[in-house]
A = this chain, B = another copy of it.
Amino acid sequence: MSTISSYDKLVISEQPITIRGWVFKIMSKGKMTFLHIRSGALKSQKIQVFVHSKVCQSSEFTTESYVEITGKVTQLPTGKYSYYPFEVIASSVKVLSKAKSDFSSRYPDTASIEYKMEDRHMHIREPKMSLMIKLRDAVIQSLVKYFYSVGMTQVFPPSFVSQESEGGASLFKLQHPGTSGEIQAYLTQSSQFYLEYALPAVGDCFCIAPSFRAEKSHTRRHLTEFLHAECEWKDVDSLETHIDKLKHMMKGIVHLLLEDHSILLEEAEILERVKDLYQLTQDILILSHDEAIRKCTVLGIYKDDEHKIPFDERDDIPESQERKLIDTLGKIVFLTSFPVETKSFYMEVLPYDKSRVAGVDIEVPLVGEVVGSGIRCGDVDELVTRLKLQGMSDLDIQRDYKEYLDLRRYGFGRTSGMGLGVDRFLTWITGSYHIREVVTFPRYAGYIRP
């Protein structure tokens, strides 16, 4: 007799079946015990099992024990409800691995979310958390399927890099074996450069890889390690073309999620939410930086809230004010055309305003920035000038950016690209409050346990 591991495959029958799983809940009434058994499959991942004391004493059961049950699948009596319209009547029970009896006291209903979150390896067994693991998987599947659907090649970038790409304060440093002794290495903050290197070889390309930032802050949005989905497109000749690609992507990913994973979304009770988000992807607001500044002024969002000081035209809008703006607008917002001094050296300036760059940040309500993107500058001299403005010497540039500049020296494919924070994106999709709820094994200041 084979063991059935997905309870979705169970059917009411006189033929006995065997299932295995973890005891999630135990309810005893005299000689009757009802167990809820979890297999890891979907449908709330649990099935009800009825065990009479003749078959097994209720004292044999502890929460989280791994058990093997043989019995018949039987229709539930009228008026009774469980995960399925049926339950298993056990004819034999084997406790394959008996759990310590303290699990319930370790996780009393009163345990704080902070306590549970930092006992991660046990916490993820809760239905909400295990569903989140499956939602994360589903979102990644939709991302990957989208990128393939537009003809991209997946590229696998390295984690070790020799130079900083985004600034040094939050860079992880470590020693890497050299040819003799050791050399200084960093952990990557973005794989953008590597996608740019790969593009002339394979055309449009993407990657999904961890990025690292030594964030000391303890906010609900920051991690020291996050999953980064990045891609690079060639032949992007204007900001409009770039915006079209981003719109197509946002719509495409959410569409695939709905198309391929609606059962999971329903189970997680977010199907209606994701349908609403799909509507949002069809009504995106494009807002240039100067329009955003004006909207802030109109809406009473200040640079300095205490002294009611409004933003100047070329100010960078900090994260908290930006979020306030987006939450008020209640739409997916593409922020564009940033002052050149507020963005990275590799962003192309606008043809009609050289003091602003063709960058687009995608902002979503309640979460904030989920995508950073832009058209790449193709001019070696301009790139060098802008690196020097950041205080780099010719020697620094030659050491750290020689290969990057080679991309412009040897046939620049007029590219643009984007980086999507998968964890923030998932926070948005699921309507979660804290990023740590959506990451299976989060890493942040002070936390590197399971």
- Give residues in A with beta carbon < 8 Å to B: 3, 5-6, 20, 22-23, 38-41, 64-66, 96-97, 99-100, 103, 120-122, 124-125, 129-130, 133-134, 136-137, 140-141, 151, 153-162, 172-174, 176-179, 183, 185, 187, 193-194, 197-204, 209-210, 212, 214-216, 218, 224-225, 227, 234-235, 378, 403, 406-414, 439-446, 448-450
Name A225's contact: one of B5, B155, B158, B227 (CB within 8 Å): B158
In the bound complex, residues from chain B placing their C-beta under 8 Å from that of A445 are: 177-179
In the bound complex, residues from chain B placing their C-beta under 8 Å from that of A173 are: 174
In the complex the two chains form, is A154's CB within 8 Å of B129's CB?
Answer: no
**Bound Cα distance A155, B409 (Å):** 41
In the complex the two chains form, is A198's CB within 8 Å of B411's CB?
Answer: no
In the complex the two chains form, is B412's CB within 8 Å of A178's CB?
Answer: no
In the complex the two chains form, is A160's CB within 8 Å of B124's CB?
Answer: no
In the complex the two chains form, is B448's CB within 8 Å of A179's CB?
Answer: no
In the bound complex, residues from chain B placing their C-beta under 8 Å from that of A209 are: 210
In the complex the two chains form, is B100's CB within 8 Å of A159's CB?
Answer: no
In the complex the two chains form, is B403's CB within 8 Å of A121's CB?
Answer: yes
In the complex the two chains form, is A125's CB within 8 Å of B200's CB?
Answer: yes
Contacts known (A129-B201, A224-B177); A159 close to B408, Cβ less than 8 A = no
Number of identical protomers: 2
In the bound complex, residues from chain B placing their C-beta under 8 Å from that of A158 are: 225, 441-443, 448
In the complex the two chains form, is B40's CB within 8 Å of A410's CB?
Answer: no
In the bound complex, residues from chain B placing their C-beta under 8 Å from that of A137 are: 153-155
Closest Cβ neighbor of A157 among chain B residues: B441
**Bound Cα distance A156, B440 (Å):** 7
In the bound complex, residues from chain B placing their C-beta under 8 Å from that of A446 are: 177-179, 183
Closest Cβ neighbor of A40 among chain B residues: B203
Name A214's contact: one of B20, B103, B172, B176 (CB within 8 Å): B176
In the bound complex, residues from chain B placing their C-beta under 8 Å from that of A214 are: 176-177
Closest Cβ neighbor of A65 among chain B residues: B411
Closest Cβ neighbor of A227 among chain B residues: B156
**Bound Cα distance A203, B40 (Å):** 4
Closest Cβ neighbor of A216 among chain B residues: B177
In the bound complex, residues from chain B placing their C-beta under 8 Å from that of A122 are: 406, 410
In the bound complex, residues from chain B placing their C-beta under 8 Å from that of A38 are: 200
In the bound complex, residues from chain B placing their C-beta under 8 Å from that of A225 are: 158-160
Can you list 21 contacts pairing A with B, beta carbon distance less than 8 Å? Answer: A5-B203, A20-B235, A22-B411, A22-B413, A40-B204, A66-B412, A97-B411, A97-B413, A121-B406, A122-B406, A125-B200, A129-B201, A134-B153, A137-B154, A155-B440, A158-B443, A159-B210, A159-B443, A176-B443, A177-B445, A210-B210
